[in-house]
Amino acid sequence: MGGSGRRSITDIGWEEFHALPLEEKRPYLEREGGRGEPFHTLFAQQFDRPLLERLAALANRIRFISKRKEGALALKSLLCHKRAMLYFSQPSSRTFLSHLAACQILGLTTGSVRDTSISSEFKGESKEDSIRTFSSYFDLIIMRTPEQGLAEKMSWELSNSERPVPILNAGSGKDQHPTQALLDIYTLLRSFEEKGGLHDRTVVFCGDLLRGRTVHSLSYLLTNFPRIRQVFVAPPQLQADESTFSVLRAKGVEFETSENLREAVKSADAVYMTRIQDEWDDAKGDSAKIDTSRFKFGAGELALLPEHGVIMHPLPRRDEIATCCDHDPRAMYWRQMRNGMWIRAALIAVTFGFEDQITEMPL
């Protein structure tokens, strides 16, 4: 590491690096010799519009190429000399499986630790040592933990070790879940690809906007696109807060809050529904006391949604979206989930510097 003129993560101490504002951390996390793509992927702030559009184009390409068996085999030969570790100490089947599938598409073999009770942690090992262990046997570490900041710490640690291995943050506490934000943007880009593009749109967020990290990250990423109006529909106790709004204000983005989903749906290009994140309740059952009945998407809302509008949800859902909406062509959440697999494959490919090889493959 340590490029010419580029700021390298090996030239900075942990405390100093950690104290930087998110935007300023980006260059330290880039792949050396690349064109701005990440080596470590930690937060949504590493992605600007050109990079998002590159990743979306690459994901599209991977999706098309893998339709034919020869294409699928060509993709699988790209990274078949690499091994990925999926370290998921927080439960998540969806994020786990889509990263697994993304690895398999590119040919990486995988190992996983999904339950820390069967790992060495019971013997008193520190998490840092555990993750450094994984870096000994694997070439990529995909990690999901309830601990804020652990992925960032390990990125610095590994880059400053004998064996720098990229970290892909698959969700860290209340903190960040950057690949979820990527798949959301990819879904919006695909949805409006043939309808004029992702600009001059109204995106409605609804549900638990305070604790759902996906909303926070997506709201941020949308500021990269011109004139995206954002509407936040939630009960007062679960409304997004200044951590979200201050970014929008600073970027001069138009936004408003509301408690009326039906009214918001009428002018929505996209409605992004979310689940009540009651696993973060201070006291168990706190969320249950909030009246969320008006913050659900059902037949009534479907009837009001413009014809070109799309319905999204990061899933899993409870009853935020009625199953009667599932077969509507505007219901984008199943495709959105599958998009996660494609965009993660694209991200892993750029992490290892294989973007050009894929771009040169025949469709």
Ordered DSSP codes for 322-358: -GGGTTSTTB-HHHHHHHHHHHHHHHHHHHTT-HHHH
* Residues 44-73 contacting a copy of itself, CB under 8 A: 66, 69, 72-73
Under the criterion CB under 8 A, does residue 81 sit at the interface with a copy of itself? yes
* Residues 142-161 contacting a copy of itself, CB under 8 A: 161
Confirm whether 94 is a catalytic residue. Answer: yes
Element of type H or E holding 83: strand 83-88
Binding segment toward a copy of itself, per CB under 8 A, in 37-45, 75-83, 180-188, 299-307:
75-83
Q: How far is CA 161 from the centre of its chain?
A: 27
Nearest-angstrom CA–CA distance, 353 and 139: 13
Q: Which is nearer to a copy of itself, 83 or 266 (CB)?
A: 83
Ordered DSSP codes for 255-313: EEEES-HHHHHHT-SEEEE----GGG-SSTTGGGGS--TTS-B-HHHHHHS-TT-EEE-
Among residues 113, 238, 264, 347, which is the contact residue for a copy of itself, using CB under 8 A?
Answer: 113
Confirm whether 123 is a catalytic residue. Answer: yes
Instruction: Choose, from 67, 123, 284, 289, the residue flagged as catalytic.
Output: 123
Binding segment toward a copy of itself, per CB under 8 A, in 104-112, 182-190, 211-219, 221-229:
104-112
Q: Which is nearer to a copy of itself, 85 or 189 (CB)?
A: 85
The answer to whether 221 and 44 are in contact (CB under 8 A) is: yes
Ordered DSSP codes for 102-170: HHHHTT-EEEEE--GGGSGGGGT--HHHHHHHHHHH-SEEEEEESSTTHHHHHHHHHHTSSS---EEEE
| Amino acid at site 46 | Q
Under the criterion CB under 8 A, does residue 163 sit at the interface with a copy of itself? yes
Binding segment toward a copy of itself, per CB under 8 A, in 48-56, 83-91, 146-154, 174-182:
83-91
Among residues 5, 21, 124, 236, which is the contact residue for a copy of itself, using CB under 8 A?
Answer: 124
Confirm whether 144 is a catalytic residue. Answer: yes
Residues recognised as catalytic: 94-95, 123, 144, 177
Q: Residue numbers of the site for a copy of itself (CB under 8 A)?
A: 66, 69, 72-73, 76, 80-81, 83, 85, 91-94, 97-98, 100-101, 104, 109, 111, 113-115, 117-120, 122-125, 129-130, 132-134, 136-138, 161-163, 275, 279, 315-318, 334-335, 337-338, 341
